[in-house]
Amino acid sequence: MSTDGKIRCGWAQSSQLYRDYHDQEWGRPVHGDDALFERMCLEAFQSGLSWITILRKRPAFRAAFDGFAIDRVAEYTDADVERLLNDPGIVRNRSKIESCIGNAKVARKLDQSLDELLWSFAPPPRPRPPTLADVPATTPESIALAKELKRRGFRFVGPTTAYALMQATGMVDDHLADCWVAPRG
């Protein structure tokens, strides 16, 4: 239990930034192509790093990637890649930067909205997990989502990243059973 008397998921205890993200964003349904594209990119940038690193850099990411507007990012050139590689405010990983740009190009050409595609893999609601140990790293749905995204040409969205995306955007509710955050409706 934290100083405000609220019971939170264990991962949200270590910093105010984590608490705010947990309390206000994580696990709440997110819709809209650009909003989901941002989450997809940030989850890919997080791969191999701690989420707190991405949260701290999120304002700089948003500025550097034009608010993650798919149509803008899809038009990025080699000069933009170099600009991003020289931006100390973001994670400067060429593969992740290029995959974000490539993913914008793929998203722009989808025959349906990115929102519809991603949410089509959301499982039916299930009981909240009792402990952190009961939270999976992947699920059949995240494996299927990652496979479909890869088939369509998306990169850096494997089953674990796909599941983190599902958690972050409310496709699944992995707040612990005793967490104060109200279950999604």
58's CB contacts (< 8 A; 6+ apart) are 42
Q: How far apart are CA 17 and CA 20, in angstroms?
A: 5
* Run of H or E including 55: helix 51-64
> Which pair of structure tokens corresponds to residue 149?
């995204």
Q: What span, in angstroms and rounded, lies between the C-alpha atoms of 171 and 184?
A: 10
The one catalytic residue in 26, 38, 43, 76 is: 43
**Cβ atoms within 10 Å, residue 80:** 17
Give the CA diameter of the chain. Answer: 50
Active site residue 43: yes
Can you read off the two tokens belonging to residue 161?
A: 């990243």
Of 21, 26, 76, 163, which one is the catalytic site residue?
21
**CA dist list (Å): 82 to 41, 93, 97:** 18, 11, 10
How far apart CA 85 and CA 59 sit, in angstroms, is 16
Which residues have a catalytic role annotated? 21, 43, 51
